[in-house]
Amino acid sequence: MASPAAFFLLATAVLLLLNACVCDGSTGKWKDSSPLRFTHHLYNTTIKENAPLTYIDTPVKMGIQVADPLWEIKYSLVTGDDDGLFQVEEVTIGDFCFLRIKTCSSKYALLNREVRDSYVLTVEATESTSDFQAKTKVSVLVLDTNDLKPLFYPASYNVALREDTPPQDERGQGQCHRCRCRNRAHPFTVDPFTGIISLAKKLNYSRSDHYDITILAEDRMKKISGVQKFGNIAQVSVKVQKANTDSPVIMPVGKPEVLANGKISVGVHVEAGMKPVESLSIVGGDPHKCFEIIPAGIEAWRFQLISTKRIMWHQFPFGLNLSLQAKDSGSPPLLSSVTLVHIPPDNSTHLAFLEDTYIVYT
């Protein structure tokens, strides 16, 4: 059985532990003994940006229940308002001291959601007849008021369209109420929701090689509510490029020439159209890949068709008919008509080894 001294020591330890849990060590006051308490530790409120001087509405009443009619409660804004946009007041009605927050004018800032969309205010309550204090936080969410005009970025655009670009919108100019052009017969439409500019008619370079379009974007809700000139414009410059309708032409070729090494060579001249000649290729008639085309000088229109392998003419007793086609450097490129080049069989006898390299084993 425990002695009375042991019970005394245990009781003393319990009292000291309870005292450490509930007592404020710095002042010696009981932290939870103060009857001065806000109804909530955090209040959530909203206000519209650029709001005039007004009180902030709250879904619940903010403040402190007055337990003693002799209390004189004062509220002060401690932190959260570096720009000086808010002010707190106290209004006592019956047994409740209401906390009211209102906006105030500031020389340095405005309630602008694009700059700052929320504030967390710390409010402190003090009672003048005692040392009672209490704190709470008020979260203020700044709401958007749609006060900005539509913005184009960038404000001007430069595009180029080929004359033969196919129209993408066959509905005519029914949606052109937001598209203005110096040329009344412009062939463009603008989607009123996406702002995409579409080509509604075929372009004609000889009729007009340039269009200056003004695009107007308006806030639909502002327009419905009767607010005029609440919009912004962008300039679009469209340059029409002449279509490449002149294809390259392969000129008549001369007679094939048999070189000293037995190779066959044919000179080919390609007449350029609107764009320079980019290449000349064999598109048919050479199943064994016996020929290739190489440039024949610094001029881009001169080529040489030359054999690269020994041709077994017994397999082609009537010769070869090679199909040639030229391509220009346009975008998209244009192709020439296919030209046939007849290579007659070479029945002459040339001294030549059957193979270029022989391996002899001894």
- pLDDT tens digit sequence for 304-352: 999 988 888 888 888 899 999 999 988 778 899 999 999 998 766 555 6
Greater pLDDT, 42 or 205: 42
Both structure tokens of 128: 């003048």
Domain boundaries, the chain: 33-143, 156-241, 249-343
Which fold, 156-241? Immunoglobulin-like (2.60.40)
**Comparing C-alpha atoms, which of 160, 164, 210 is closest to residue 332?**
164
Residue 169 has pLDDT above 50, yes or no: no
CATH 2.60.40.1580 fits 33-143, yes or no: no
pTM of the complete model: 0.41
Cβ burial 211-236 (10 Å sphere, 16+ → b, else e) = bebebebbbeebeeeeeeebeeebeb
- The total number of residues written for the chain in this structure: 362
Same CATH topology for 156-241 and 249-343? yes
Both structure tokens of 192: 């009123």
Kindly report the CATH number that applies to the domain delimited by 249-343: 2.60.40.60
What is d(CA 245, CA 254) in angstroms, rounded to the nearest whole number?
Answer: 28
Residue 27 has pLDDT above 50, yes or no: no
* pLDDT tens per residue, range 208-248: 889 998 888 877 655 555 556 667 888 999 999 887 778 89
Mean pLDDT of 254-271: 87
